[in-house]
Chains A and B, each alone.
Chain A
Amino acid sequence: MHVHFLDPYHPHDSLIHRFDPRIKLVLTLAFILTNGLIPSGAWPVFILLFALILSVEILSELGVGYVLKRSMLAFPFVLAALPLILTIPGRTMFSLDVGPWTINASYPGLERFISIALKSWISMQAGIVLAASTSFPDLLVAMRAVRIPQLLVSIFGLMWRYLFVLVDEATRLIRARAARSGHSDHPNAKTGGSLSWRARVAGGMAGNLFLRGFERSDRIYMAMVSRGYDGESRSLPFPAIQIANWAILIGGLVILTLLILIAYLFWG
Chain B
Amino acid sequence: MLPAPIAMHIPDGFLSVPVSIFFWLITILVVGYALKRVGVDLGERQVPLMGVLAAAIFAGQMLNFAVAGGTSGHLIGAAIATILLGPWAAMLVLTCVVSIQALIFQDGGLLVLGANIFNMAIIAVTVSYMVYRSVQKLAKGQPWGIFVGGFIAAWLSVEAAALATALELALSGTSPANIAIAAMGGIHALIGIGEGLITVGALAFLYATRRDLLKAGEAAPARGNLVWLTGLVLALLLAIASPLASSHPDGLEWVAEQKGFLVSAQSPLFKIIPDYLFPGVSNSTLATILAGILGVLIVFVVALVVATMRRRKTTLEE
A108-B265, A152-B96, A214-B213 as given contacts; A127 in contact with B291, CB under 8 Å = no
Cβ B270 vs Cβ A265 within 8 A: yes
Cβ B201 vs Cβ A203 within 8 A: yes
Q: How far is the CA of A6 from the CA of B57 in the complex (A)?
A: 15
In the complex formed, the residue of B with least CB distance to A158 is B51
Chain A 153-177, CB-CB to B under 8 Å as 1, else 0, gives 0111111111101110111011000
A58-B306, A128-B106, A166-B59 as given contacts; A51 in contact with B10, CB under 8 Å = no
Count B-side interface residues using an 8 Å CB cutoff: 110
A47 at the interface (CB under 8 A from B): yes
Which residues of chain A come closer than 8 Å to B7, judged between CB atoms? 77
Q: How far is the CA of A136 from the CA of B55 in the complex (A)?
A: 15
Cβ B63 vs Cβ A206 within 8 A: yes
Count A-side interface residues using an 8 Å CB cutoff: 112
Cβ B204 vs Cβ A204 within 8 A: yes
B residues 8-43 touching A (CB-CB < 8 Å): 10-14, 16-17, 20, 31-32, 35, 38-39, 43
Q: 8 closest Cβ contacts across the A-B interface?
A: A203-B201, A158-B51, A207-B205, A51-B295, A120-B13, A44-B291, A199-B197, A119-B13
Within the complex, which residue of A36, A213, A224, A266 is in contact with B20, where a contact is CB–CB below 8 Å?
A36
B60 at the interface (CB under 8 A from A): yes
Q: Add 12 more A-B contacts to A36-B20, A43-B284, A155-B96 (CB < 8 A).
A: A59-B302, A80-B180, A84-B175, A116-B174, A127-B12, A149-B32, A156-B51, A161-B55, A166-B52, A202-B73, A207-B209, A266-B287
Q: How far is the CA of A202 from the CA of B57 in the complex (A)?
A: 13
Which residues of chain B come closer than 8 Å to A156, judged between CB atoms? 51, 96, 99-100
A155-B50, A192-B66, A229-B44 as given contacts; A166 in contact with B58, CB under 8 Å = yes
Residues of B within 8 A of A (CB): 1-3, 6-7, 10-14, 16-17, 20, 31-32, 35, 38-39, 43-60, 62-68, 73-75, 80, 84, 92-93, 95-97, 99-100, 102-107, 109-111, 169, 173-176, 179-180, 183, 194, 197-206, 209-210, 213, 249, 263-266, 268-270, 272-273, 284, 287-288, 290-292, 294-296, 298-299, 302-303, 306
Which residues of chain A come closer than 8 Å to B180, judged between CB atoms? 80
Number of A-B contacts (CB under 8 A): 343
A32 at the interface (CB under 8 A from B): yes
Within the complex, which residue of A61, A130, A157, A171 is in contact with B306, where a contact is CB–CB below 8 Å?
A61
A244 at the interface (CB under 8 A from B): no
Which residues of chain A come closer than 8 Å to B80, judged between CB atoms? 206, 210
A22 to chain B, nearest CB (A): 14
In the complex formed, the residue of A with least CB distance to B286 is A44
Cβ A205 vs Cβ B63 within 8 A: yes
Cβ A43 vs Cβ B291 within 8 A: yes
Which residues of chain A come closer than 8 Å to B97, judged between CB atoms? 159
Q: How far is the CA of A79 from the CA of B74 in the complex (A)?
A: 21
Cβ A36 vs Cβ B12 within 8 A: yes
Chain A 39-69, CB-CB to B under 8 Å as 1, else 0, gives 1110111011011101100110100000000
A246 at the interface (CB under 8 A from B): no
Cβ A48 vs Cβ B47 within 8 A: no
Q: How far is the CA of A266 from the CA of B73 in the complex (A)?
A: 47
A28-B110, A50-B295 as given contacts; A79 in contact with B1, CB under 8 Å = yes
A35-B12, A81-B14 as given contacts; A203 in contact with B295, CB under 8 Å = no
Cβ B6 vs Cβ A159 within 8 A: no
A123 at the interface (CB under 8 A from B): yes
Which residues of chain A come closer than 8 Å to B75, judged between CB atoms? 202-203, 206
Cβ A162 vs Cβ B299 within 8 A: no
Cβ A200 vs Cβ B106 within 8 A: no
In the complex formed, the residue of A with least CB distance to B175 is A80
15 contacts between A and B (CB under 8 A): A32-B111, A35-B13, A36-B16, A36-B111, A39-B264, A55-B302, A58-B303, A73-B107, A81-B14, A159-B58, A166-B56, A195-B67, A199-B65, A202-B201, A206-B205
